[in-house]
Structure 1
Amino acid sequence: MSDEPVPARPIVDLKSFTPARVALGRSGASLPTKPLLDFTLAHARARDAVHAAFDAPGLIAGLRALGLGATEVHSRAADRADYLRRPDLGRQLDAASAATLEKTVAAPGQLAIVIGDGLSAAAVHAHAAGLLQRLLQRLGEGDAVALGHVVVASGARVALGDEIGAILGARMVLMLIGERPGLSAPDSLGAYLTFAPKPGLTDAERNCVSNIHKAGLGYDEAAFKIAWLVREGLARQVTGVALKDESADRAPRRIGTAVPE
């Protein structure tokens, strides 16, 4: 082994590798003014994202421009305060919404798409339409996936997609939802995939593609991963811990191809 000392790299070099708050400096026992103000602004943006109003009609109009019709539904959370205090209500449809979906059931299709506000309506407003545009292109390639209903849900938690998918009779449900805001990403979108959706499933039975935003996972890469998981999940008839994301290693099976015992 060489006895030469390893050159020390200043901690400020970390700033070129991460958006995390490192090497902020200090002023006495506190932060300098600018980093402190930056932190306060990021915290305010995260809080605003959680409490922002969800523009479901505007989102539906944007989906219409992509050639998609959508049904608007609501969870049992009466308002935002109710939603934040009672996560369980965000996992259940209100009675009127369930009745509306039951009336729309015709040909269920292989994949139902649910777009929910979650904990960041800002993320949905910013990224849902752009991601869907790329995803629809991916799903239409080769062995095309039969798209069923598109639903826009207010007051939604991830598991609300399970009840919606079950009512619609979809083989798989894709939930696009605003993720819990962080201090560096108040507008991060998540995508959750569940095969054979029904109420009562756990997160172990879903796949997640997260951190979709301008400084995170881009639309093209996210759409590629989601489309791969959709096709592979439909072919294997599983999602969750039984389905590993190997999209970087190989092509998905053809949908309907039996998995060897």
Structure 2
Amino acid sequence: MSKEISNKGYLQKDPWENLRSLSKARIALGNSGGSLPTKEVLSFQADHAFTKDAIYSDLKKEELLQQLKEFDLPLYQFQTEVSDRKEYLKRPDLGKKLAETSKSENGDFDILFILTDGLAADAINERAIPLLKDIIPKLKEDYKIGLCLVKFGRVAIGDEIAEKVGAKFTAVLIGERPGLSSPKSMGIYTTFEPKSGITDERRNCISNIHEDGLSIAKASELLQYFINESFRRKISGVKLKANLPDQIDRK
């Protein structure tokens, strides 16, 4: 009996511990008696705090605008019907509608890149500009490109913006719902011939763009593929599948 009690304080390793090198998921955490090790409990609490911070992070609007101006392309700013972050979280529908005060001139673009905070503004603050720097030089000779920055936007906001400014194709760069292992993940949603009221099967998605996920270079490669194929085949969404021979190599 005494031997059994004395073993309760020992850290017992999980036999699947080697799998942790393959994933950021919380697997094979081990145990101390009938509980998780203190280190893992504290790690979970810290990651949960980072996730909450990500949801309430702010779009660095002025800094992003200055960086976007450096591309020397037409640049638009819009505001959705959302008034603050709390309303954004409670009313997803308002993040899909432009405020009535939003005005613009028609630019008749081939491609409109739209940056919006989504559920993790820091993902856009840190990753949107590097991705644009990678892909825009590859597209400028073949497509007329515009840029747009929107605060408190959802994915579907790109459809109304495309109608307002005139765009055949939108790529919405948005902060994804943060996970405990990826609080600053960016996603890109592409739509050919966007218009208000279309549904999500008309879109292609490139997700998990973060330091432990899809790299900027690989995301740019996939995005360029979707752009070229969408214009070539006049489609996007479930009818258009990525067919790259090296797409499994995520780095």
> What TM-score, normalized by structure 2, do the two folds share?
0.89
Instruction: Answer with 241-250 or 38-47: which moved more.
Output: 241-250
**1:187 aligns to 2:184 (yes or no):** yes
Amino acid at match of 2:142: A
User: Per-residue deviation at 1:25?
Assistant: 1.4
Q: C-alpha offsets along residues 61-90 of structure 1, whole Å, 9 cap, x if unaligned?
A: 111233345222111011111110010000
Aligned to 2:242: 245
Contact 1:60–1:69 (CA<8 Å) still a contact in 2? no
Q: Distance in 2 between matches of 1:40 and 1:137?
A: 42
Aligned with 2:118: secondary structure? Answer: coil
Identity %: 38
Aligned to 2:34: 29
Q: Distance in 2 between matches of 1:247 and 1:74?
A: 36
**1:215 aligns to 2:220 (yes or no):** no
Selected match of 2:149 from 137, 152, 166 = 152
Question: Could you say which structure has the higher strand fraction?
Answer: 2
Amino acid at match of 2:41: L
Q: Distance in 2 between matches of 1:235 and 1:95?
A: 35
Aligned to 1:176: 173
Selected match of 2:95 from 67, 90, 96 = 90
Aligned with 2:150: secondary structure? Answer: strand
Instruction: Answer with 21-30 or 211-220: which moved more.
Output: 21-30
Amino acid at match of 1:105: N
**1:127 aligns to 2:127 (yes or no):** yes
Q: Distance in 2 between matches of 1:70 and 1:82?
A: 27
Aligned with 1:13: secondary structure? Answer: helix
Q: Distance in 2 between matches of 1:247 and 1:18?
A: 23
Contact 1:145–1:231 (CA<8 Å) still a contact in 2? no
Contact 2:117–2:151 (CA<8 Å) still a contact in 1? yes
Contact 1:112–1:150 (CA<8 Å) still a contact in 2? yes
Aligned to 1:18: 23
Q: C-alpha offsets along residues 180-226 of structure 1, whole Å, 9 cap, x if unaligned?
A: 00001001000000111111111100000111111111111110110
User: Per-residue deviation at 1:33?
Assistant: 1.1
Aligned to 2:229: 232
Aligned with 2:28: secondary structure? Answer: coil
Aligned with 2:167: secondary structure? Answer: coil
Instruction: Answer with 18-27 or 61-70: which moved more.
Output: 61-70
Contact 2:68–2:147 (CA<8 Å) still a contact in 1? no
Q: Distance in 2 between matches of 1:185 and 1:69?
A: 32
Aligned to 1:165: 162
User: Per-residue deviation at 1:236?
Assistant: 1.0
Aligned with 2:194: secondary structure? Answer: coil
Amino acid at match of 1:203: D
Q: Distance in 1 between matches of 2:221 and 2:183?
A: 23
* Unaligned 5+ runs, structure 1: 1-8, 251-261
Tell me the C-alpha RMSD between the 2 structures: 1.7
